[in-house]
Amino acid sequence: MKRFYLTRNQNGYYRVSFIDPVTGRRGLGKSTHTKDKQEATIIASQWLNGNVPKAMAHSRAFAAGTSGTYSGDLKSFVSHLSENDAYEILELISLKFHPDLPSPFTNPAQTTDESSSVSTGKKRYVVIKKNPSQNVEVKSEKETKHNLYETLLNFWEFDKSDFIQRHLAHGHSMSKKHTIQMQAFVRNNWLPYFGDEKCIEDLTRMELDDFFFYLHSERGFSGETVNKNINCANRCFGWLCTNGKIPSNPLKGIERFKVDAQDRGIPTESEVKKLLALDWENQAAYLAFKLGAFCGLRAGEISGLRVCDIDVAGDMIHVRHSYSEIDGLKSTKNKDTRDLPIDHMTVLQLANLARTNPVYNELSYVFYQPKKPDKAYYPGYYNDIFYLALEKIGISEAERKDRNIVSHSLRHFCATILAQRTDMKTVQSIMGHRTEKMSEHYSDHDTIEKFDNMRVIMSSAWEGYLSA
């Protein structure tokens, strides 16, 4: 019978799974932290002979095997120890190097009651006899620490978190969608790696660095996603430290990962004209495209439009809210409202779409879900219909991904066109940006028409010289 199997994960690292010689069942896999099959086979053979390291299966210490030298930062390690931890480690060190001698170390915290040292072979432990006359409840060290998994999960519980309630009370924003994403990081990444018994006070800088390195190198997470996992815990640890609940933030000064941001692509003016003339899936899809391309509305802002936001008499729309599948109706991204003038035809089309809502009233949604008219379309819907429209005008999925075009690209397109025709202050007002710098970022694209205008200007300027 084969004693173990080697498999490769999506990033090329080999994992070993051992076979139980009695039951014949295949056990859980452990990473060898190598992409070399021969090296992985050697490591697996060593582990098969009982040399499996005791370190965590994801850590670099696990891959290194049983080394007799601690390569971490000792000062950092010691700085995270509690007093009880320190005495326990001293006891273990005494046992390792002088197992036959009585321990020279005594924990002063354990001498208030009658105590005795018990020795059984090479194992020694301290027996505490509580004085019956003292009616004092003594909490164990584990009870005084903060469980990593439970603390992170509760910290991001939207309706119960003390941090979130205070954060909102001070006028800051926090969406339920964001907190659910943070809890997903805790369940899917932090829990499988550290388990459900690890305490925050026991975390070391080396362990955390290994964890983030594991997410990036073996799980294949992007730098941006790894940084979100860092932020997930760092905000919690920082708050606990500031409020005196933990002695220090183990993530303070942690190095973040490089983020390779791809520039957002935009459709050309000729492509937008083709999309405008296209036979769209429905009127809602067509109007959502127009509001994105010509008014610069975000997807959530389109879904957040209600009947009271459509001003037919003044040919205007009032952008007051945003909408998400989790939070429902909420404030805009910057908590600002803005009024946008639009053409009379479009405002009539919006009003007519709103009237088809079976629950039509002043507060009903313009872009409502046909099966749930009391709810708006989820913002992700516009991406789906936009991709179908791009295919209809000849832009394949491969080209779309290569150019990095999404429905939000229409907002960039709008800013680009406006920036060529007016000043940044006006662009800032229309787009709902807090700063001109952000408007410049959105409008930093060139179009065919811009180059055509440049060609006309240059040819007229140099016409006399060239003809001579």
Per-residue pLDDT of the chain (468 residues; tens, 9 = 90+): 567 778 887 677 888 887 777 776 767 677 877 888 878 787 877 777 665 555 454 555 444 444 444 444 566 556 656 676 677 677 767 766 666 666 565 665 555 444 444 444 444 444 444 454 445 454 555 558 899 999 999 999 999 999 999 999 988 888 888 999 999 999 999 999 999 899 999 999 889 999 999 999 889 898 889 999 999 999 999 999 999 999 999 998 888 888 766 667 888 888 989 998 898 889 999 999 999 888 888 899 999 999 999 999 988 889 999 998 888 898 887 777 888 888 889 999 999 999 999 999 999 999 999 999 999 999 889 988 999 999 999 999 999 989 888 888 888 888 887 777 666 676 666 666 555 555 455 555 555 555 565 456 545 645 554 454
Contact 318, 309 (CB under 8 A): yes
CA distance 87 to 70: 19
CA distance 157 to 166: 13
Contact 410, 231 (CB under 8 A): no
Handedness of CA 356, 359, 360, 364 (dihedral sign): negative
pTM of the entire predicted model:
0.52
